[in-house]
Chains A and B, each alone.
Chain A
């Protein structure tokens, strides 16, 4: 029996002579962590109603899975990653997809250890890297949703601010800076499933930031990107150097395009860079921003657009085909980037046809229509709404099946 959210939009689209009736249902949810309090608030993105609040152990950064079935709260200060079942899932039937909507809930899985940091998904496997131990704990989505703690551990040689990616029957592991263990990793090693190294180190000085777009995975380095694709039997890794024409700088945060294959990264404090890793020349397109950058996100629905929020309180719509800012919209008071890097500042997510921007100092979410790029409203959220991710979409339900 499928349970639909009371606020999901249900539209009767077809009736057949059989007992089965197909309904088109749209449901979107926002998961919001608080900057000060250990909690995650879940809000129905369509009607703005609060669905639930989950108490966790510390302020969290949030990650949603590719499928949208799970959301993870990475609580660096509390030493734990908490799995949350979003309650929304899809089943692909080729000609259409079915949607199943249930109440969100804690999945019953916690991944514990010293200083959880980078949390990466690849093809349904999640790797939580624990800086203080130099260890990655890996679990698949099915286990998380079933509440089974089926972790496997892969160890690196030393504690580091590192990253691991479960890549099929291999693991990609950051290589610590042995001479200066407090500094960023110096490369990537391909290892087998147990962590035993295969081949040498792929140099990636100051490694920080990773993302996937389509079938390509990329790590950001001081010298360019390490681009990982499927090789003959094991991952193929190549280095894509920054173009000589780029100014001094590097990317430290990467996100992968959806629908179109590209990467969007920071570059300096007031620029972003669009990267096509499949070409050797003109792979990097630098885009200057009016002020310093606060946060950026790609649009998973409208592949042509990404969004950048800047410290002057503006949300910018970035046309990734033309490589330029197409529209800008003032949403908040200024949020200076002076101060601590983790001070409460806005974050951006896209929920269907809405762009959502947190405004932690005002305790609201600003809603922007993704088509008109006009502000359409606010949702009040208690506390300081900070990190935000969205899950949802449209699909069919089949009453009577």
Chain B
């Protein structure tokens, strides 16, 4: 059984268990979030009723995170575990197995509009995630086509605010199942936060509209902004693939530089979760000036400019717009 299929089986087994019994009213819900963006969503939904532990913290890279025995102990004693899914957390299966947790493992991307990995298809096709996890269906499809797949779906679904709203709904559902007494609070918090997300999306669309269409191609470190591209019309090129785990090859970089020149890219950016060296090299070879730092897979620390999801998305579009328009 492949690792992906195993993961689907593990998660399926756990989520099919009866939900953890509702916690006593006086006791906060113990929530584990796999990375900082999910933790921020959970905080907005859970408020004071939840205690959240974040496995991959601010500026951390979940693609390459190595879980510790202490993480397994934390997951083992959790009431709810919130993860992205779509193979974003490569460490998830071994962590869940080591923890022997009975908590539901909730994949927040489930039910969302999920894009195929651009490495696989050469373009972004909009797909509904398969029920029960895209990984399983993807593996079977891969065999039928007679070639191999390297992650069927782009996991960075939160870069679409629409999907963020789904994440929030899924969190509220999970919290209600684990803590029925707090359900009205969770629903109300999710509703209120959802309104902020709606306003955020309007801001992003308005900002993009001010960027001339022929200047909407930019460069980032890794291929993390496919959803942003799909939703808002900024084209992103990246030397590294969907995961930061493997480094870009020299031929990949050469091809990218050629494409940058062809597409007349407007700006280039570093990311908070990747080494800036490669981007700086590409910038020097193409004459593009590094336009700032974008936040893709992790928030900044609390003193940074992207300490929450709302701040992260505002920071990213403001930085992109500013670099392209020179303001």
Partner-B contacts on A (CB < 8 A): 14, 16-18, 20, 22, 24, 93-97, 213-216, 257, 259-262, 274, 276, 278-279, 302-304, 320-323, 394, 396
Contact = CB atoms under 8 A, between A and B. Distances in A.
B148 A321 contact: no
Interface residues of B, number: 34
B201 interface: no
Interface string B1-45: 111110000000000000000000000000000000000000000
Contacts of A16: 143-144, 146
30 contacts: A16-B146, A17-B144, A18-B144, A20-B146, A94-B148, A94-B149, A95-B2, A95-B4, A95-B135, A95-B148, A95-B151, A96-B2, A213-B66, A215-B66, A216-B66, A257-B69, A260-B71, A261-B67, A262-B68, A274-B69, A278-B68, A303-B94, A303-B97, A303-B98, A304-B72, A321-B72, A321-B73, A321-B76, A321-B99, A394-B1
B298 to A, nearest CB: 17
A14 B140 CA distance: 9
Nearest to B275: A232
Contacts of B140: 14
Contacts of A260: 66-69, 71-72, 94-95, 98
A96 B4 contact: yes
A18 B64 CA distance: 36
A95 B94 contact: no
Interface of B: 1-5, 64, 66-73, 76, 94-95, 97-100, 135, 138-140, 142-144, 146, 148-152
Contacts of B150: 93-95
Contacts of A24: 1
B148 A304 contact: no
Secondary structure at the B interface, as helix, strand, loop or mixed, is helix
Contacts of B95: 260
Contacts of A274: 69
Q: Which 4 pairs between the two chains have the least Cβ-Cβ distance? A: A214-B66, A94-B150, A96-B2, A93-B148
A34 B78 CA distance: 48
A13 B87 CA distance: 23
B94 to A, nearest CB: 4
A96 B73 contact: no
A251 to B, nearest CB: 17
A93 B68 contact: no
A257 B91 CA distance: 14
Contacts of B151: 94-95
Contacts of B99: 321
Contacts of A95: 2, 4, 135, 138-139, 142, 148-152
